[in-house]
């Protein structure tokens, strides 16, 4: 985990299915937006 993380690895043996998956992934990736850091704040307080 110090250098890489493969928790989200998807292995697809069929090259046609893999190509379809990659195309869809790239479409979704292109639509992604960087979250606003203010939306990621943690409201947790010690002792609660």
Distance in angstroms (rounded) separating the CA atoms of residues 26 and 12: 16
Confidence of residue 48 (pLDDT cuts 50, 70, 90): low
Output the pLDDT for position 41.
83
Task: Tell whether the model's pLDDT for residue 44 goes beyond 70.
Answer: yes
Contact 10/21 with Cβ under 8 angstroms?
yes
Q: Higher model confidence: residue 40 or residue 47?
A: 40
Q: pLDDT at position 9, please? A: 84
Q: What does the radius of gyration of the chain's CA atoms come to, in whole angstroms?
A: 18
pLDDT band with cut points at 50, 70 and 90 for residue 47: confident
- Residues 27-38: what's their mean pLDDT? 92
> What number of residues does the chain have?
48
């Amino acid at each position: 985990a110090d250098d890489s993380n493969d928790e989200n690895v998807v292995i697809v043996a069929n090259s046609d299915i893999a190509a379809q998956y990659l195309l869809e992934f790239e479409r979704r990736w292109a639509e992604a937006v960087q979250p606003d850091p203010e939306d990621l704040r943690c409201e947790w307080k010690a002792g609660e």
